[in-house]
Amino acid sequence: MPNYNKSLSYKQIKQSKTLYNSPNCIFAQILFMLTERDKQFIEYWSQNRDKEKKVFRQLLVGLPIGLLFVIPIVINFSSGWYKRANMWARGHADDSSGTVLIVGALVILVFIAIFSKRHRWEMNEQAYHELLAKQEKEAEDAAQSF
């Protein structure tokens, strides 16, 4: 007896050759149809994907996210809540610990900014390729039904 409690993924449904690939199956037609939002995304991403991939743009757009990480770190170090660290810092004032903290904060800021926007770009690129494949499948099904 088949197990009907197991949910099927989109990929499993798409690869199924028996039930869902027939052009008469309403479930397959609804599942593989592109919505208006999908079509708008394909159009937008095909025009802007190269512009969004540039590192300088990713840095500029991602700076607010990086600042969300760096500002609490700077506040934590400058608040003086840890007295022992403050005593150590006063005793080693001639060291370059302030410079190291500033450079560390800048490295964190740049890394978070670029990494977050690069991750978003990769997710959009994957969605774009999936929707293109879905659009091609829709075109094939339309051609087969005629």
Q: What is the predicted pLDDT for the residue at 112?
A: 94
Domain boundaries, the chain: 34-145
Q: What pTM was computed for the model?
A: 0.65
Residue numbers of the chain with a pLDDT score lower than 70: 1-32, 93-95, 146
What does the block give as tokens for 112? 């978070």
Nearest of 139, 142, 63, 140 to residue 105 by alpha carbon: 63
Q: What is the predicted pLDDT for the residue at 83?
A: 81
Q: What is the predicted pLDDT for the residue at 47?
A: 93
Query: Please, what's the largest Cα pairwise distance for the chain?
Result: 83
CA distance 68 to 55: 20
Tens digits of per-residue pLDDT, 127-140? 999 999 988 888 88
Q: What is the predicted pLDDT for the residue at 87?
A: 79
